[in-house]
Amino acid sequence: MIRTAAVVGTGLIGTSAGLALSRRGVRVHLLDIDEAAARVAAARGAGVFGPPAERVDLAVIAVPPTRVAQVVAQQQRLGLAHAYTDVASVKSPATLAVADAAVQDSSYVGGHPMAGSERSGPLAARADLFEGRTWVLTPGARTSSAALNRTLAAVSLCGAVPVVMEPSAHDRAVALVSHAPHLVATLMAARLGDASREALALAGQGVRDVIRVSGGDAALWTDIIRSNAPAVAEILGELMKDLEALTGALNALEVSAPAPEDALGAVRELLRRGRDGWEAVYEPGGAPGQVTLTVPLADRPGEVDRLIDAAQGAGVCPDGIDLCWSQGSSELSARLAAPPLTAESVRRTLADGGWRVSVAATPS
């Protein structure tokens, strides 16, 4: 357990950690080269302003990636804490220059909470920012278990789920699921800066979601992208090949009235691959070995919506619900796909609701 902590850098992440730890009874000290930021964080209840009188259990170094090593080394010299962790979104020691800056490896554990916001600074901080989120830790060979355990305690107090990874595996992963998506959103957003008022009036939730992250702090993101440039460049290089093929296909569709089949096929194929990626993120693991429940539906107003509500209430996801019309019997029936573990409770809920349910296992 930890009783005292220091947060160095009271931006969005540092202040949110301070709020979460303070709420769980940890005495937190707040430091920032910008005194106003630390004062604001303190005023929001993230801890007390200024350095502690004696070593704290853990220091959370919440500064931009390219400054981490320098700040950790400096605070180790000053004797701020027994253990040190950071929150930078790149973790390779070489990138962070941890070795160059003579960081004492034994008391340092690299960290990266997978949480953020397009808003920045202590005013955007929230005590529940890390709730249920993954918090990656990258202990080195020389990290002491005492330092690791203090960091694990802080992560748990913040409500996050700790995951231990190799620094280089982490950096490749975030290039793919965070840094490249950020730049892709930015590339699209950059097209919208000069959009006419008339065009912007047609902007709906779709484009808003696509570009949302591009509202983030440009200086911080320049630093992040710079620190992970090789991994990000590789992904964007692959994406550029797809984009070249796509624009080639679009130009072919442009010139000829009856659509050339290969151009159409290229667009279709890209959309299909996009859908695969969507499923990997939104429905990881797919739906192997689902159980199918079939429910005949009476021809009564509201019957379909009543069944959909009951099925979803019992844990069936919207995409697992299908309605079938049998020409022969003139009957409408619902087919519900449920994971084996929940199928029986779904069946019971629906049977209790007065429906006639038949069950069949689907081969995976």
Site for its own copies in 170-199 (CB under 8 A): 170, 172-174, 176-178, 180-193, 195-199
Single out the residue of 321, 342, 319 nearest to residue 333, CA to CA: 321
Q: Segment 233-252, which members bind its own copies (CB under 8 A)?
A: 233, 235-240, 242-244, 246-247, 250-251
State yes or no: residue 275 binds its own copies (CB under 8 A): yes
Residue 17 is a binding residue for its own copies (CB under 8 A)? no
Judge whether 107 and 86 are in contact, CB under 8 Å: no
Smallest separation (angstroms) from its own copies to the CB of 74:
21
Decide: is 287 part of the binding site for its own copies (CB under 8 A): no
Q: Which of 101, 42, 43 is nearest to 68 (CA)?
A: 101
* Cross-strand partners of 135: 113, 162
Could you give the string, one character per residue 290-309, with x where binding to its own copies holds by CB under 8 A and - elsewhere?
Answer: -------x-x-xxxxx--x-
Rounded least distance, CB 229 to its own copies, Å? 4
Contact between 203 and its own copies (CB under 8 A)? yes
User: Do the beta carbons of residue 293 and residue 346 sit within 8 Å?
Assistant: yes
DSSP characters for 43-55? HTTS-EES--SS-
Nearer to its own copies, 205 or 363 (CB): 205
Question: Which positions from 84 to 113 touch its own copies by CB under 8 A, shown as an x/- string?
Answer: ------------------------------
Among 77, 212, 348, 356, binds its own copies (CB under 8 A): 212
Which of 50, 51, 159, 215 forms a contact with its own copies (CB under 8 A)? 215
Q: What is d(CA 74, CA 76) in angstroms, rounded to the nearest whole number?
A: 5
* Closest to 220 measured CA to CA, from 34, 69, 12: 12
Q: C-beta of 115: minimal distance to its own copies in Å?
A: 7
User: Scanning the structure block, which residue is given the tokens 């004696």?
Assistant: 54
What does DSSP say about strands 358-361 and 291-297: parallel, antiparallel, or unpaired? antiparallel
For the CB of residue 33, give the shortest distance to its own copies in the complex, in Å: 13
Which sign does the torsion angle of CA 233, 235, 241, 246 carry?
Answer: negative
